[in-house]
Chain A
Amino acid sequence: MKSFILRYSRVLLLIALAVALTLASPAFATRENLMNVVRQAALLTMLGMGMTMVIITGGIDLSVGSVLALTSCLAAGLIKSHQTAMWGVLLALGVGLMCGLLNGLMVAKVKLPPFVATYGLQWVARGIAYIFMSGRIIYGFGRGFRFLATGYLAGIPMPVVFMVAIYILFFFLMHYTTFGRSVYAVGSNRKAAELSGLKVDRTIISVYALNGLLVAFVGLLFISRLNAAEPQIGETFALEAIAATLIGGTPFSGGEGGVTRTLIGALILSLLSNGMNLLGVSSFWQPTVLGATIVLAILVEKLAALAERDAS
């Protein structure tokens, strides 16, 4: 029973939250509102999944917000000056991939601690974004590009469609491929992974590169929704993505966890902020609720693990 609670504590928390909100507010369980919750969670969920993959290798990527700002500013510049959005999109994805590669190389080859490597790139990327924009804001994109974040496919908002697609992709990648298994292996014991012949460096570099690519993609969705790009966007994204991962239950220690947990973590965060809005809780409390949720989620896990150990 205990292990059941431990295993599904996040799902139970999500269900409990949903039930509580349904009882507390008649506006909660409407199709419109629920769609809103999922739409709000979509971008964060996608960033969270990339972050989760990085954290499973025992790493962290603090640069995601800045890389997102850099790629989307560069893309916005090209999109505005060309007929088609294609070149801007390609440039963004290319630069995102490069930034990720750079992170991966610094972590795998130069052996910098991931915290340090990505902390450094964070400032470099943000700086280039500022210099590129030199004080302007680029706004007003074409209808085609706006469709990416504001359109609907069969009645479902496009960001949600992308979120589901990327979730399925990551789930498959992490659990049904050699790459996914080596990600877990590297995170749980790098030495052992190396000794059993896994290409550890290549795995780590691929993980950061893939994350960079994903971040650039989310950046495109973000400016498509905002209909504008400026260099200070995304300053809190790295921390929010880490929060979704942690609340979902993927630990910092690496080798454990998964993207499904992060999906649940992001939904919990989104439900919390939606619930507070519906119940008229002052938005001033939002940071406190976010911080307390993270601490409580980890606390429950620690205490449950302790109880488990004592029982056996």
Chain B
Amino acid sequence: MRVPESIFRKIKRLPGVLWALVALIVFFGISGKGFFTAYNLINICKQGSILVIVSMGTTLAILTAGIDLSTGSVLTLSGVTVGLLIHSGSPISVAILAGLGVGALCGLINGYLIAHLKFHHFIATFGMMGIAQGIALAVTQGAVVPGFDAAFRKLGDGTIFGLPVPVVVALLVVVATSIALYRTRWGAHVYAVGGSEQVAAWSGINTRRVKLAVYVLSGLFAAIAGVVLTARMNSASPIAGAGYEFDAIAAVIIGGTPFEGGRGGIVGTVIGAAVISTLKNGLNIIGLPTPWQITIIGFMITVAIVLDVLYQMRKDRVAS
């Protein structure tokens, strides 16, 4: 049982947010000095990559009509784990694996609480948000873990075939997610669970396993983002991930996947993440302070929600 949106309808759904992105790029290109330089555009891509990675997991969670509030903290905890392990002399590969393991474990706990113990997704991931944040603060004593050797920093600064490594990692994550979501039965089940969990269960879908996997992936993706961010910053900060959960949720909503779940997808999320990264970079260049950036992103979320409601209302009217 697949629940695909036809390609044609998908394209019809895209333009709104895509036009927003184009408009932003034109606007900043004209008004922001230094926006249209290769250096800056690559910078946007690198920054955006980390958000794209995190928001892939958030998209999965929201598609099942859930949410993951813990991604920012899990990102932090994974980054800190990698940083501390490397400093204590572990081989880089072991440290990275441990970091990813920590993220997947956090996701597994979220998933187990939500899928098996029937926790409300908000409660479970809200709890995990605090738990992971506190552990990250406590093990670092609130201090930044600084300075890594060149081999590890390559993950943030290096290039593969001319592409920055963070961009390559983000591409891999996006491709993997899209295969899982659009080319496997599991992906169809994700949509089905979001559309109606009850109906999905009645049609024989193991909804528990679907949701468990969604949250494990969300934790794992947050951890991948944490590793890349740590390499890029050349330090692991115990507050590195603060706010990423919000940006990721924003990317998903702006990208056209509504909180109710069951419709939308990752293409929109990638564009949504691009909008947010461009916006933040551009507003920085123009010189608007962070509070304004938050306000403008919030305003865009509200617009996206309202547009979605209007779209649904029109669709309902056409249908009836």
Interface residues of A (CB under 8 A from B): 60, 110, 112-113, 115-116, 119-120, 122-124, 126-127, 130-131, 135, 231-232, 239, 242-243, 246, 252, 282, 284-292, 294-295, 298-299, 302
Interface residues of B (CB under 8 A from A): 113, 117-120, 122-124, 126-135, 137-138, 141-142, 238, 258-260, 289, 291-292, 294-299, 301-302, 305-306, 309
Q: B298–A126 contact, CB under 8 A? A: yes
- Enumerate 28 A-B pairs (CB-CB under 8 Å) in ascending A order: A116-B258, A116-B305, A120-B305, A123-B299, A123-B302, A124-B299, A126-B295, A127-B295, A130-B291, A131-B295, A242-B122, A246-B123, A282-B138, A284-B134, A284-B138, A285-B134, A287-B133, A288-B130, A288-B131, A288-B132, A289-B130, A291-B128, A291-B129, A292-B130, A294-B123, A295-B131, A302-B117, A302-B118
Q: B299–A287 contact, CB under 8 A? A: no
B292: nearest chain-A partner, CB-CB: A130
A294: nearest chain-B partner, CB-CB: B127
Given contacts A123-B295, A130-B292, A291-B127, 7 further A-B contacts (CB under 8 A): A119-B301, A119-B305, A126-B295, A131-B295, A135-B289, A288-B133, A291-B129
A110 to B142, CA, bound (A): 45
- CB contact under 8 A between A292 and B131, given known A116-B259, A302-B118: yes
Q: B126–A110 contact, CB under 8 A? A: no
A290: nearest chain-B partner, CB-CB: B130
Q: A231–B302 contact, CB under 8 A? A: no
The 8 closest A-B CB pairs, nearest first, are A123-B298, A288-B134, A291-B130, A127-B295, A284-B137, A287-B134, A291-B131, A295-B127
Q: How far apart are A235's CB and chain B's nearest CB, in angstroms? A: 10
Q: Residues of B contacting A242 with CB < 8 Å?
A: 122, 126
Q: Residues of B contacting A115 with CB < 8 Å?
A: 259
Q: Residues of A contacting B259 with CB < 8 Å?
A: 113, 115-116, 119
Q: How far apart are A190's CB and chain B's nearest CB, in angstroms? A: 17
Q: B299–A292 contact, CB under 8 A? A: no
Q: A127–B299 contact, CB under 8 A? A: yes
Q: Residues of B contacting A302 with CB < 8 Å?
A: 117-119
A242: nearest chain-B partner, CB-CB: B126
Q: Residues of B contacting A285 with CB < 8 Å?
A: 134, 137-138
Q: Which of B126, B299, B309 contacts A294 (CB 8 A)?
A: B126
Q: Which of B119, B135, B141 contacts A288 (CB 8 A)?
A: B135
Q: Residues of A contacting B291 with CB < 8 Å?
A: 130, 231-232
A106 to B309, CA, bound (A): 11
Q: How far apart are B114's CB and chain A's nearest CB, in angstroms? A: 11
Best-buried of B118, B126, B130, B306 by chain A (most CB within 10 Å): B130
